[in-house]
Each structure stands twice: as structure tokens, then as C-alpha cells.
Amino acid sequence: MRRMQWISWAFLAVLAAGCRQQTAQGFAFVGQDTMTGRQVNLQPGAMPSGEMFSGFYRSQLMGDINMQQTGDAVVADYEYDRAQCHVLGHLEGTVEGNLLRFSWREDKRACGFQTPIVGRGFMLYEVSQEGEVRRGHLYGELGLNDSDRGDGTLVAVKVPDREPVLRSQQSSGGDGSGTGEGSGDGSGASGSGSGS
């Protein structure tokens, strides 16, 4: 009986590890870096040595992104302008290696939307080395509501030597919509439909 329990537990552990690996493997990014023109084929795996998601990024889809990682948790604020509309976004997620899975929320009241737009997404972190310059990159996809795909492709580059500052950390307090939950998606998802 004890041997049978041990075999059952071992089987469940192997099954759980296999499911976790399958889940992570479903988040590959294959496409073009729209900022450099380079082809990217990036799989989930280990985070590059000495790197983390924290930083200030620039993205065509999400605009300016201020991202902070603490342990395996990430929070970020972002903002962009599309069609004379200023959008504030917020995302929160969990890191596993070089993979960040997150939920996002965008405040588009300034654009006539009464309720926030929400979704999910994922990002993979990669480092490029060009001579002396080492630069972090994000590649991923965004989706609306419960989907983590289908509403935009995310490409972002980390700006060296620039520290992230989240709206909730700014002393001025801004307009009150940038406390993290009050903005949005990070996916720029809805922004992606009218923009890039």
C-alpha cells in the first residue's frame, strides 16, 4: 500500500512538472522586431544572467513603460497617445524565468470609454549585445478579457540607465487615475486596433 502511494505521488509530481513545462512552452514568440527589423524566435527559459524585468522601456504599442520586479511579481505603468487620446495603462503579473504572464487594465475615459478595458498577455525577456552595449528587449502578445493573444504584438526595448517610476510612486499624485489599478493594460490592446 505504501509503495502504491509513493508511485501515485511520483506520477502526480511528474504530471504536474510536465503540465508546467507545456504551459510555459505555449508562450513562445516568433516574429519580427518592429524596431530593428530583426527576426526573433524566443522560447520561455532561464532569465539571462544579471537581468530582470525592472526598467524603463519604449514600445510602439504601449508607449513608455515603467516596470518594477520584486521577487517573481511585476507591476508596470504605461501610457501612450492614439488619435488625440491619452491612455493610461497598468499591468500586474508573475515571472517564471524569462516569461512574464500578466493582466492589464487601461483607463480610456479621456477617449469616451466609460469602463476600463482589460485583458491578459505575456512577455519574454531577451538581451542583445552590440559591441559594448547590452540591451534588454521584451517580446510578447496581448489579448482582450480572458485571452492572452489576438489583440496586439508587443515589442519593447529597455532604455539604459533610466530608472522606472510608477505613477503610484510619484509625489505629485498626478490626476489620480494612475494608481495602478486605474489604468490599464499594458497590452495597449484596444490601442492596438487604432494605432500601429
Bridge partners, residue 102, by sequence:
93, 121
Distance between CA atoms of 83 and 86, rounded to whole angstroms?
9
Query: Does residue 95 contact residue 72 with C-beta atoms inside 8 Å?
Result: yes
**Residue 187: φ, ψ to 5°:** -85, -20
> Domain for residue 104, yes or no?
yes
pLDDT (0 to 100) of residue 6: 41
Query: Does residue 166 contact residue 138 with C-beta atoms inside 8 Å?
Result: no
- Match 503579473 to its residue by C-alpha cell: 93
> Domain for residue 90, yes or no?
yes
**Residue 163: φ, ψ to 5°:** -80, 140
> Domain for residue 21, yes or no?
no
How many domains does the structure of the chain reveal? 1
pLDDT (0 to 100) of residue 175: 43
> Domain for residue 87, yes or no?
yes
SS3 159: coil
> Domain for residue 11, yes or no?
no
Find the domain containing 47 and state its range.
Answer: 27-194
> Domain for residue 45, yes or no?
yes
pLDDT < 50 regions, the chain: 1, 3-23, 172-196
> Domain for residue 67, yes or no?
yes
pLDDT (0 to 100) of residue 68: 97
Q: What is the largest CA-CA distance in the chain?
A: 70
- Match 508546467 to its residue by C-alpha cell: 20
> Domain for residue 18, yes or no?
no
Model pTM score = 0.73
Contacts of residue 181, Cβ cutoff 8 Å, sequence gap at least 6: 90, 105
Distance between CA atoms of 138 and 124, rounded to whole angstroms?
6
Other Cβ atoms less than 10 A from the Cβ of 170: the count is 12
Q: Residue 100 region, left (φ>0) first, then alpha (ψ -120 to 50), else beta?
A: beta
